[in-house]
A = this chain, B = another copy of it.
Amino acid sequence: MTDTTQNTRILLASRPHGEPTSDNFRIETAPMPQPADGEVLLRTVYMSLDPYMRGRMNDAKSYAAPVELGSVMEGGTVAEVVESRDPSLQAGDIVLSHLGWQSHGVQQAKHVRKLDADRAPISTAVGVLGMPGFTAYAGLLEIGKPQPGETVVVAAAAGPVGSAVGQIARIKGARAVGIAGGPEKVAWLKELGFDVALDHRSPTFKEDLKAAVPDGIDVYFENVGGHVWDAVLPLLNTYARVPVCGLVAHYNETALPDGPDRSARLMSSILTKSITVRGFIQTEFVKSHYKQFQADAAEWIADGSLRYREDIVEGLENAPDAFFGMLTGKNFGKLLVQVGADPTR
């Protein structure tokens, strides 16, 4: 599966205008990079695909610097050490790394984290035990602050963040209402123990949501926007909390939508219902909460209260198509690209 003399990589070739297309990417091979002292040469096993990557393709200022044109697309990876020039790691070690969309790469040993395959499947390091899981944990608990008996609503609930949000809400004694696209995902949410699971594609979605929250909504974990948010807003209770971690329905918009302008009405809802709307990215909470998250999540996975699902696409060359699909909700579970053989399976 992997050429050991060449590095295959996917570059950002041009910036998308609206929906990204294959033209925005270029696949190429390059000489294998060489590690210097303190560095390791890594071979990518799993590469994570996440909605935030759409933002990095733009030139506009977002939470992080954009990917430069002609540079490798960014992203979290699980990789095997091929060659180590640092005493802390040796060939064969599996590490959480940030190689981006490529088959190999060099990183400083101190910037990667060694994984224990006996503790959890290594792919979970970019999933339920990694950035998406932590996003759910930190956003829900630190901003959403669900109380026992309160109602938590989450969209993209079959995704890696949303599925964790709903399950953690239930662990904390709240009622979890999950919103997803299509009957299969809805069925899976019920399997996970969501109190209610709704299909946002249903023509009666707005009424379905209203019926699902007889006591209103106390926490809405926002990662979608669009018509789901429009349905949620009037149902929010006084003192509702809205952690905002994504707006995938809007990432491909090229211009402001037609009017009327509802922005003042949004502020007015926030005012009259004493609502908290709080944007965040998980990095804000790493220092203060990551350790506790790792301990809690490991315990919840072990006792079966936190489950996850992976959607693994084979082959680096298929990353762009998988990425496009994710932006329209075609993945089902945490989307990963298997770039090379998994030595632990």
Interfacial residues, chain A to chain B (CB-CB below 8 A): 55, 61-63, 222, 225-226, 229, 239, 244-247, 250, 253, 255-281, 284
CB < 8 Å neighbour of A264 from B250, B259, B271: B250
Q: Give A121 to B62 CA distance when docked, in angstroms.
A: 51
Contacts of A284 in B (CB 8 A): 239, 274
CB < 8 Å neighbour of A259 from B260, B272, B279, B281: B260
Min distance, Cβ A317 to any Cβ of chain B, angstroms = 31
Copies of this chain present in the complex amount to: 2
Contacts of A260 in B (CB 8 A): 255-259, 261
Asked whether B268 lies within 8 Å of A247 as measured between CB atoms, the reply is yes
Nearest B residue to A64 via CB reads B272
Take A261-B263, A264-B253 as given contacts and tell me if A276 and B277 are in contact as well, using a CB distance cutoff of 8 Å: yes
Given A244-B270, A266-B267, A275-B278: 7 more A-B contacts, CB < 8 Å: A63-B273, A245-B271, A255-B260, A259-B259, A259-B260, A270-B277, A273-B279
Min distance, Cβ A301 to any Cβ of chain B, angstroms = 28
Asked whether A262 lies within 8 Å of B267 as measured between CB atoms, the reply is no
Take A260-B257, A261-B257, A276-B278 as given contacts and tell me if A267 and B63 are in contact as well, using a CB distance cutoff of 8 Å: no
Contacts of A262 in B (CB 8 A): 256, 261-263
CB < 8 Å neighbour of A277 from B62, B256, B277: B277
Contacts of A253 in B (CB 8 A): 264
20 A-B pairs whose Cβ atoms sit less than 8 Å apart in the complex: A62-B272, A63-B271, A63-B273, A63-B274, A222-B267, A239-B284, A244-B267, A244-B271, A245-B271, A247-B264, A256-B261, A256-B262, A256-B264, A257-B264, A258-B259, A258-B261, A261-B261, A270-B277, A276-B279, A277-B278
